[in-house]
Amino acid sequence: MNPFLELGIREEVVNAISELGFEKPSEIQEKAIPVLLTGNDDFVGLAQTGTGKTAAFGLPLLEQLDFSQKHPQALILCPTRELCLQISKDLEKFAKYVDNVHVVAVYGGANISDQLRQIRRGVQIVVATPGRMLDIIGRNAIDFSNVKYVVLDEADEMLNMGFKEDINNILSETPDEKKTWLFSATMPAEVRRIAKNYMTDPVELTVGTKNTGNANIEHHYYLIKAKDKYAAFKRIVDSNPDIFGIVFCRTKIETQDIAEALIKDGYNADSLHGDLSQQQRDKVMKRYRDRSLQLLIATDVAARGIDVSDVTHVINFSLPDETENYTHRSGRTARAGKTGISLSLVNVKELSKIRHLEKIIGKPFEKKQVPQGAEVCEKQLFSIVKKIENVEVNDEQISPFLPAIMENLESLSKEDIIKRFASLEFNRFLDYYKNAPDLNIEARDGGREDRGDRRDGRSREGSKGYTRLFMNLGSVDEFSRGDMLGFICNNANISGKSIGKIDLKGVFTFFEVQDAEVEKVFQGFQGVDYNGRQVRIEVSGETRGEGRSDRGGRSRGGDRGGRREGGYRGGDRGGRREGGYGGGERSGRREGGFSGERRDRGERSSNGGGFRDFSGKRKESKSKY
Ligand code: ADP
Ligand code: MG
């Protein structure tokens, strides 16, 4: 008999989860389900990430609720919109063969009227982030008087995010007799306090050792100089051609910077952080899930609880401030019994943090060497060979061209042809890593890499007489090139003729502006806000560095290399960056303070009229995550 049936889950649900590949319950499910099915107790479940907590509370809920009634009977609170969507989707999947199950996902950043409509139509399960939930409660748009179960998922993170008051207020709307089920990966004192305040004699279950990472995760660290971090990171990525990773940064600014630098360097990467609109986040997540992105650069909060299967690497570009977040980060890999690597890039000063983490996860980190240039090249070469070996040949499509191809290559031996095909991609790695220094800290001169890093060979300098600027809005914000042109001209109050090339990318745009008009652009966009995001304009890092001759004394390759590896723009952020990427050379460079100060000034709506409604709405969050 199916073990879920034995636990007391009904056949329709068992059939649905079998289709999802659930053969037997995970440990937390096996232990929690019987307790929760009685419906008699408050409950605290502690289990590391990726152990199946959603089903541990979701399956019992599907047994307990009366789906012939259409009022809310269960409320699930979770910290982020992504998690909210994920949980509601999971529940719908579990309930695929159960009739009349209605789940609504209630989260900020999306149209509230759709959510209200769904609630009015009748729902039994509400999955919500606290802010939006309170909003709806405030509108008297939901009746919680029949709620029997409240689930607090990722309770520790909700507290970290400052939702304590909100949770208080929401819970006070629910009946006293309801049962509260709290799930968390860790149990800091705050969570314990919540359990004490809101629960009566909860049944407490711990699966695995508290705070311990998943046994299938290998923990690695690389010891490097702070300034070499980006270069080392790239080497690690380059030596893992099949990497599918999440890169964690501490702040959204760092997240964006790294994503931008990576995109410039030709990688499939994008960032996920609290400053993106709901739509942008959904798009980024979809691209990552679909694997059109290889690297997702995220803040702790934005990536919390995200369940994407087959993540190969979690990369701690910066170690988290809160050690507990390390467990959450590394839990994004090695999901559902798979294996994964969590790696950290640290400098000597941060070594003590590694020692501390070792104590927390209860196992040692392995010290790894940043691969040497030659090793990276070898890895890439064999990856290419494998690709050639496995590529799918479409005989029908290619056959008409074959005679001509054969004729062209006739004079080459098989060996020559192989060499050439492999070189096609390989050469750029050879070029890049030619003379690449050892980045490991033992190296006497932890030297800088040469700057020849044009993975795609394109030049990025602005045209003559133009300055290339960067803006943090792009095609995912639904701009066409025409829209963008209008947006720039309206705000800067300049003519379209002053604008050169517009290079519209996913989450950002490069555009050229006649040198004489550059200042107007900066003036015009001061304090401008688009869909709740501060519009950020900066001189494209490379144009500044390379396109100008007035810098003098910059001929030494090493000097330039350092900046490149940093790859981030913005000396204006120098102060915030203790890590000091790219070296002091850059700090203070952004004298004019293009973005830094501006950001803090009041918001101004930027309705330039004409093209679209660009009027900004109030920013939802000012958090740096
Ligand atoms: P957690 O909330 O503990 O971090 P999730 O509930 O998100 O974990 O589950 C992690 C992954 O494991 C999901 O992809 C889920 O579909 C899968 N999963 C959960 N339970 C089982 C099971 N019993 N068998 C196989 N896969 C499972
Ligand atoms: Mg979860």
Q: What percent of the chain has pLDDT over 70?
A: 81
Residue 373's pLDDT band (cuts 50, 70, 90): confident
Ramachandran region, residue 347 (left: φ > 0; alpha: ψ -120 to 50; beta: rest): beta
Does residue 206 carry a pLDDT above 50? yes
SS (H, E, C) 112-125: HHHHHHHHHHCCCE
Ligand nearest to the CA of residue 26, numbered in listed order: 1
Task: Specify the pLDDT at position 588.
Answer: 27
Under 8 Å between Cβ of 512 and 500 = yes
pLDDT at 527: 87
What φ, ψ does residue 435 adopt, rounded to 5°?
A: 60, 20
Output the CA 18–ligand 2 centroid distance in Å: 19
Atom of ligand 1 nearest to the CA of 305: 4
Residue owning tokens 């979770």: 78
User: How far apart (Å, rounded) are the C-alpha atoms in residues 518 and 521?
Assistant: 5
Q: Does residue 333 contact residue 311 with C-beta atoms inside 8 Å?
A: yes
> Is 293:270 a contact under the CB 8 Å cutoff?
yes
Does pLDDT of 67 surpass 90?
A: yes
Q: From atom 15 of ligand 1, which residue's Cα is the shortest distance away?
A: 52
pLDDT computed for residue 120 by the predictor: 96
Give me the pLDDT at residue 587, please: 28
**Residue 451 reports pLDDT greater than 60:** no
Q: Using alpha carbons only, how large is the chain's radius of gyration in Å?
A: 27
Residue 60 has pLDDT above 60, yes or no: yes
Residue bearing the CA closest to ligand 1, atom 22: 22
Q: Are the beta carbons of 184 and 199 closer than 8 angstroms?
A: no
CA distances from 524 to 358, 521, 535 (A): 50, 5, 11
Tell me if 336 CB under 6 Å of ligand 1.
yes
Confidence at residue 442, expressed as pLDDT on a 0 to 100 scale = 60
How distant is the alpha carbon of residue 619 from its chain centre?
20
- CA 29 to centroid of ligand 1, rounded, Å: 10
Spatial distance between the Cα atoms of 135 and 175, rounded to a whole number of angstroms: 19
- pLDDT given at position 431: 80
Retrieve residue 144's tokens.
């919680």
Query: Which of 31, 48, 307, 333 maximizes ligand 1 atoms within 8 Å of its Cβ, making it the mutation to test the pocket?
Result: 307
Pairing type for strands 533-534 and 528-530 reads antiparallel
Q: Do strands 269-272 and 295-299 pair parallel, antiparallel, or not at all (unpaired)?
A: parallel
Task: Check pocket membership of 335 for ligand 1, CB cut-off 6 A.
Answer: yes
Which stretches does DSSP call E strand in 304-417? 313-316, 340-346, 366-368
Q: In the predicted model, is pLDDT for residue 228 greater than 50?
A: yes
Of all protein residues, whose CA lies closest to atom 19 belonging to ligand 1?
52
- Does any ligand 1 atom lie closer than 6 A to the CB of residue 51? yes
- Tally of CB atoms within 10 A around 364: 10
Q: How confident is the model at residue 612 (pLDDT cuts 50, 70, 90)?
A: very low
Check pLDDT > 70 for residue 185: yes
C-alpha dihedral sign at 3, 4, 9, 15: negative
pLDDT for the residue numbered 482: 85
- Atom of ligand 1 at shortest range from CA of 49: 4
Residue 596 banded pLDDT, cuts 50, 70, 90: very low
pLDDT at 66 over 90: yes
CB of 214 within 6 A of ligand 1: the answer is: no
Instruction: Kindly give the interhelix angle for 278-289 and 81-94, rounded to the nearest 10 degrees.
Output: 60
CA distances from 372 to 8, 25, 234, 306, 560 (A): 56, 44, 12, 33, 20
- Whether ligand 1 lies within 6 angstroms of the CB of 333 is answered as no
Ligand having the closest approach to the CA of 80: 2
Distance (Å, rounded) from C-alpha 513 to C-alpha 535? Answer: 17
Residue of minimum CA distance from atom 5 in ligand 1: 52
What's the CA gap between 440 and 138, in Å, rounded? 56
C-alpha 419 – ligand 1 centre gap (Å): 45
* Nearest ligand to the CA atom of 56: 1
Substitution site in 2, 6, 14, 22 for ligand 1 pocket (most atoms within 8 Å of beta carbon): 22
Question: Does residue 26 line the site of ligand 1, with CB under 6 A?
Answer: yes
Q: Which two tokens stand for residue 379?
A: 């890895």
Tens of pLDDT, residues 95-138: 999 999 999 999 988 899 999 999 999 999 999 999 999 999 99
Closest atom of ligand 1 to CA, residue 309: 14
pLDDT tops 60 at residue 262: yes
Q: Which residues surround ligand 2, an ion (CB under 5 A)?
A: 53, 305
User: Which pLDDT score is estimated for 214?
Assistant: 66
**Two tokens at 277?**
């609109």
**Mean of pLDDT values over 273-292:** 87
Using an 8 Å Cβ cutoff, are 221 and 346 in contact? yes
Average pLDDT over all residues of the chain: 80
Tens-digit pLDDT profile for residues 462-484: 678 888 898 888 887 888 888 89
Compute the distance from residue 31 Cα to the ligand 1 centre, in Å. 15
User: In 3D, which of 38, 272, 34, 231 has the Cα closest to residue 148?
Assistant: 38
- What's the pTM value of the predicted model, to 2 decimals? 0.50
Residue with the nearest Cα to atom 1 of ligand 1? 50
